[in-house]
Amino acid sequence: MYFVNTSVGDFPPGLTWPASLQSLYVFNTKTVDVKHLKMPPTSTLLDFWNVTEIENLDELYLPDSLTVMYFSNCTVQVIPPSLVWPKSLEKLTLIDNHLQDLPHNLPDGVTFLSIHKNYVDNLGISLPKNLSVLKFRDNRVKEVVNWDFTNLYYFRMKRNPVTRIDNVTFSSKLHYFDCEGCPLTVFNVDMTSFAALDALDPWDRNESRATIEFRGFNIIDNIHSDKAACDKLHGDIRQLWAGKSNVTVHVCVIGSPVNYTLVIVGISIGAVVLIAALTTYCCIKRRNLQKQLETYVAASPFGSGNQFTNGSTLDIAGNSTLGGLVHDLGDLEFLRVSGVELHKKLAEGAYGEVWKGSYNGAIVAVKRLLPNKSSPKDILNFINECKLMARFESPYVVKLYGVSWTRPVDFMAVMEFMDRGDLKSYLANHSPMAVSWEFKHKIMSHILEGLVYLHSMQIIHRDLKSRNVLLDSSDGETVKLTDFGVSKEDLQETMTVGVGTYRWMAPEILKEGHYSVAADIYSFGILLSELDTHKIPYAESRHPITHKPLVDTAIMSMVINGTLSPSFSTECPQWVHAIALRCLEHDPELRPSARQLVLELRRQSPHAK
């Protein structure tokens, strides 16, 4: 981690960087000359933010280890064609610049490309073949023609003057399509693309903001493709999203529906044999899974038979929660390990427990569900958490090594072991005077780095608190984030287990309204009060008349109304308190981003008062 800020000027020849440098942030400066910038081969992130002018960009050396690059609000008009991109580059963000053309020769490994708020008027001649996220909001693109977007799951062309989408192919991978404000008059697609688009539901702004996993379609204007022009292409006018939207979208579908009767008649004998073999295999596989599920049902806390307490019935065909369970377990087969041993129980929460264990001779942490929290829904949520963790590769996020199960009810996650436990226990076992603000500064920095990583992947943690921050003595003390349960405990249940997650929740979450990454920033502000006082949030809050500790519902109500904030001690450094107050703004729009806080923290001496 390294940062360079105001009036940096340039990087002189021979400048020595730490050998372990992973991230470099250059921000808030008028001019920077990058001719002699030589990052070490350990670097994975380069971020230019609010830089008025970047000189000699064509001579910038980019190590192949870089996977993430940002140019944000840098007034860059042209990315030099001679710039050699890192071979490992996966994510490129060029937001709020003056770009007029897309960069050339991007590596095929780039999966995420964001060009929001520039002056680009076309998509160029080629895009990375593995691209899955294309963000092009607020540019000047007039047409999207002749593109193979079958790998895309996210397509955003919002507020571009697009009048024509023609010969563009999508697939069932597509999860989000946004052309809000596009004055479309021509919209021609093939049958497969029509089916992929039509399968989308309307974009639910509430749900999308809660998860940042945008899904659905976002079109706010009627679109009427010309029938005469469609006839010339031997196409048919079809309505997209009929019955799903208040607007009418008529597109020209080119190509006739497949006549499956003729296809079946034309199948060769060899194909029939192949299908029969595959059918036999699938039947055997399904029978084995059914036996596994029957064993699960017999061992589950629901009792005998195949009726669950929520009234759902076991249906191997996939019509119940268990059907999804079979599918999701199959998705994790590549992570499956065996020979995991459990040694000592370390912690227990409302839904799961964590054990110290071993795998292949190494000490690991093993997470599993509580016996009374092993319904199909609980297991599916746990599986989804593991799917999410499998995507992570960050020094500030706990690693998932694998998963293990013999029956679904035995499902376990095998994770990196952090030998100093969680931050909540650490603070409870040490007085505030016994822990230096230099160490706390490091804790803050590592937590924010973890949030920057998650938010760059469009993931909200949603349960940031001291219990979900782990410490390790290796590498001079390491701090990492953990617990990425997709479905958190409901508020009613957290209130029955002592101190609930709600104490760290932003008011917009408690109100069940729209929320975003700013919710994590609010939780970080709450966590700063813990770092200061070594006590749980609102531990000192009392009823003004009875002087008794506030009950849970009172705390929630006061947080929602903006009349209660966590307390800070008189010994708390002013800079910490100032950061906390910004994070705890009741209006989420006024809270800083994790990236801004990382940069701010690097400017701040941990010894300042």
Neighbours of 508 (CB within 10 A): 20
Query: CA-CA distance, 127 to 131, in Å (whole number)?
Result: 7
Tokens of 13: 């020849």
Tokens of 354: 């964590």
Residue 217 · residue 178 · CB < 8 Å: yes
CA distances from 337 to 285, 301, 367, 406 (A): 20, 26, 14, 11
Q: Phi then psi for 221, rounded to 5 degrees?
A: -120, 150
The residues that bridge with 23 in the sheet, in sequence order, are: 45
Helix 437-456 with 594-603: angle, nearest 10 deg = 150
Q: Distance between the two ends of the chain, CA-based, in angstroms?
A: 24
Q: Phi then psi for 479, rounded to 5 degrees?
A: -125, 130
Query: CA-CA distance, 462 to 506, in Å (whole number)?
Result: 9
Label residues 510-525 b or e (16+ Cβ within 10 Å = b): beeeebbbbbbbbbbb
Q: Phi then psi for 134, rounded to 5 degrees?
A: -125, 110
Residue 166 · residue 147 · CB < 8 Å: no
Q: Which helix (H) or strand (E) holds 71?
A: strand 68-72
Among 47, 422, 463, 532, the active-site one is 463
Query: CA-CA distance, 466 to 484, in Å (whole number)?
Result: 14
Cα torsion angle, 300, 306, 309, 315, sign: positive
Question: Residue 409 carries which DSSP code?
Answer: G
Query: CA-CA distance, 230 to 225, in Å (whole number)?
Result: 8
Query: CA-CA distance, 19 to 499, in Å (whole number)?
Result: 43
Tokens of 528: 């700063």
Residue among 167, 145, 150, 165 at smallest CA distance from 233: 167
Q: Which helix (H) or strand (E) holds 284?
A: helix 269-299
Residue type, 293: L
Query: CA-CA distance, 211 to 474, in Å (whole number)?
Result: 33
Tokens of 53: 């002018």
Q: What is the DSSP string of 209-254?
A: HHHS---EEE--S-EE--HHHHHHTTEEEEEETTTT-SS-EEEEEE
Apex 422 CA angle, 416 and 428, nearest 5: 165
Q: Which helix (H) or strand (E) holds 367?
A: strand 362-369
Place of tokens 């079946």: 264
Which residues fall within 8 angstroms of residue 548, CB to CB, at 6 or more apart? 542
Residue 446 · residue 387 · CB < 8 Å: no
Active site residue 463: yes
The residues that bridge with 29 in the sheet, in sequence order, are: 51
Catalytic machinery residues: 463
